[in-house]
């Protein structure tokens, strides 16, 4: 039987549109998405690709405010929107918004199951605040079932007392075909694009926010410690923006020989170019619920050096097969990994091919399969 499903999520992220489009195609689901805001201009510069949206949706009136270090988002009209759609199940993307709690109370008062789409893991630096932990546990106890992207998020819920059979996997994904096609086009125009974007002939690549917790200072420090001959051959490119940019640029200016380039924020169309022309992606993060840039890089055929703290580490990167795994905050281990991959051309080529093979299993359609199964089990339990 077709289920009226509402997804309640924060912003119209370009990463999520392909997932929701795939879910909307499923005969088992009548989908409506409620966004709490179009975007978050204080953290992200993402373009909103409304022309690509193929599902029913609305954006609630919202107001943002920074409170005690937390980015708070307040909304009007949550109950009205739910009353209008009258869902038979709700998939809620988080517990930290006031709107999430409003949806939870609305669902419980009507005996409608609410599922939590949870990406938190044990390395999440947002953990540890007593009030947050209490609220989180109260929210978890009131959810019917849970949807997670992988093993680290599943284990996190189990440690919070959630039964394993109440947790369903829906792997995080990006539009693999879009990135693969754009990367192929970039490779066919490599010389012109390197000139246009002023890129080194060979380079290590970081993509993400320039903040300390992404491991960007360790990455720059590791590059400075590479053998001089290697730095003459391979540059380092940071794609992204953030509060650490000025400090990174100041330190980068002292590194010689070598080339360190900061491109600033890049939209989706540009990202595939940076991936396609790079030797590898490096994400030495201290904390990441997943790390979707790894999906993107693998779709473009790159090997990956990845911190074990990333939520996707256990799923996407297999040691010595499509990349290397390193401990977070470990600059010497990062130096060793960079030297190893940079000097093994055959290994990099094989690892890049293996990345494409692995990421094919992490598609929007597979995510939709996981959600459909979770909703079906939930309705069966409540029927």
**pLDDT surpassing 80 at residue 250:** yes
pLDDT at 383 over 60: no
Model pLDDT, residue 43: 61
pTM for the structure as a whole: 0.93
Cβ atoms within 10 Å of 51's Cβ, excluding its own: 7
Query: How far is residue 22's CA from residue 230's CA, in Å, rounded to a whole number?
Result: 44
Output the pLDDT for position 260: 98
CATH topology identical between 3-173+363-382 and 176-359: yes
Residue spans of beta strands (DSSP E) within 124-251: 145-148, 167-169, 203-207, 235-239
231-246 pLDDT, tens digit each = 999 999 999 999 999 9
Which among 309, 343, 308 is positioned nearest to 324, based on CA atoms? 308
CA distance 221 to 335: 9
Q: What does the pLDDT read at residue 322?
A: 98
Peptide bond into 247 cis (omega under 30): no
Per-residue confidence (pLDDT) for residue 221, from 0 to 100: 98
Report the distance separating Cα 91 and Cα 373, nearest Å.
13
Mean pLDDT over each residue of the chain, to the nearest integer: 93
Asked whether residue 382 carries a pLDDT value surpassing 60, the answer given is no
Residue 29's pLDDT is 97
Q: How far, in Å, CA of 266 to CA of 97, rounded?
A: 28
Q: DSSP labels for 221-251?
A: HHHHHS-HHHHHH-EEEEEB--TTHHHHHHH
45-54, 180-189, 342-351: which has the minimum mean pLDDT? 45-54
Q: Over the stretch 8-40, which tens digit does the pLDDT of each residue have? A: 999 999 999 999 999 999 999 999 999 999 887
Percent of the chain with pLDDT over 70: 94
Looking up tokens 């029927």, which residue turns up? Answer: 383
pLDDT tens digits, 156-192: 999 999 999 999 999 999 999 999 999 999 999 999 9
CA-wise closest residue to 187 among 294, 273, 267, 282: 273
Q: What is the DSSP letter of 166?
A: G
- Provide the pLDDT for residue 47: 81
Confidence class for position 132, pLDDT limits 50, 70, 90: confident
Q: What is the pLDDT of residue 169?
A: 96
Tell me what the mean pLDDT of segment 362-372 comes to: 97
**In the predicted model, is pLDDT for residue 347 greater than 60?**
yes
Burial of 355 (C-beta count, 10 Å sphere; 0-12/13-18/19+): buried
Buried b (16+ CB within 10 A) or exposed e, 133-164: eeebeebbeebbbbbbbbebbbbbbeeeebee
**Confidence band for 118, pLDDT divided at 50, 70 and 90:** very high
Of residues 376, 362, 271, 350, the one with CA closest to residue 311? 362
Tokens at residue 331, please?
A: 């600059």
* Confidence category of residue 125, pLDDT binned at 50, 70, 90: low
Structure tokens at 159: 């440690």
Q: What is the pLDDT of residues 252-276, one digit of tens each?
A: 999 999 999 999 999 888 999 999 9
Residue 354 has pLDDT above 70, yes or no: yes
CATH superfamily placement of domain 3-173+363-382: Glycogen Phosphorylase B; (3.40.50.2000)
Q: How far apart are the first and last CA of the chain?
A: 12
**What are the C-alpha distances in Å from 312 to residues 149, 178, 213, 253?**
8, 21, 16, 33
> In sequence order, what are the residues at sequence separation of 6 or more whose Cβ sits closer than 8 angstroms to the Cβ of residue 34?
6, 7, 8, 9, 57, 58, 60, 78, 81, 82
Q: Which residue has the tokens 């088992």?
A: 28
Hey, where are the domains in the chain? 3-173+363-382, 176-359
Joined tokens for residue 351? 């690892």
Render pLDDT for 54-93 as a digit per residue (tens, 0 to 9): 999 999 998 987 665 567 788 899 999 999 999 999 999 9
Backbone angles phi, psi at 370, to 5 degrees: -65, -40
Tell me which CATH code domain 176-359 carries: 3.40.50.2000
CB 211 within 8 A of CB 205: no
């Amino acid at each position: 039987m077709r289920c009226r499903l509402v997804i309640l999520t924060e912003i119209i992220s370009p990463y999520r549109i392909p997932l929701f489009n795939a879910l909307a195609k499923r005969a088992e689901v009548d989908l409506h998405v409620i966004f709490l805001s179009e975007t978050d201009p204080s953290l992200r510069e993402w373009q909103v690709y409304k022309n690509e949206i193929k599902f029913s949706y609305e954006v609630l009136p919202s107001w943002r405010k920074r409170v005690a270090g937390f980015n708070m988002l307040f909304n009007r009209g949550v109950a009205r929107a739910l009353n209008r759609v009258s869902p038979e199940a709700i998939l809620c993307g988080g517990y930290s918004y006031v709107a999430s709690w409003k949806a939870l109370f609305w669902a419980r008062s009507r005996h409608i199951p609410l599922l939590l789409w949870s990406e938190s893991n044990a390395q999440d630096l947002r953990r540890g605040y007593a009030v947050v932990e209490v609220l989180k546990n109260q929210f978890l106890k009131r959810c019917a079932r849970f949807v997670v992207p992988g093993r680290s998020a599943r284990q996190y819920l189990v440690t919070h007392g959630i039964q394993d059979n109440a947790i369903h996997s829906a792997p995080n994904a990006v539009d693999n075909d879009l990135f693969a096609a754009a990367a192929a086009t970039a490779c066919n125009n490599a010389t012109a694009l390197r000139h246009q974007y002023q890129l080194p002939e060979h380079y290590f690549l970081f993509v993400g926010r320039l903040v300390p917790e992404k491991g960007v200072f360790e990455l720059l420090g590791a590059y400075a410690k590479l053998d001089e001959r290697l730095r003459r051959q391979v540059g380092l490119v940071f794609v992204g923006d953030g509060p650490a940019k000025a400090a990174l640029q100041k330190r980068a200016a002292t590194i010689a020989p070598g080339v360190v380039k900061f491109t600033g924020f890049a939209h989706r169309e540009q990202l595939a170019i940076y991936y396609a022309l790079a030797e590898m992606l490096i994400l030495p993060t201290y904390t990441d619920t997943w790390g979707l840039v790894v999906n993107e890089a693998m779709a473009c055929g790159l090997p990956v050096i990845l911190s074990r703290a990333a939520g996707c580490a256990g799923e996407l990167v297999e040691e010595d097969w499509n990349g290397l795994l390193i401990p977070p905050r470990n600059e010497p281990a990062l130096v060793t990994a960079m030297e190893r991959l940079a000097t093994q051309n055959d290994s990099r080529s094989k690892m890049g091919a293996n990345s494409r093979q692995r990421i094919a299993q992490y598609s929007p359609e597979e995510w939709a399969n996981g959600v459909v199964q979770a909703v079906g089990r939930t309705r069966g339990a409540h029927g």
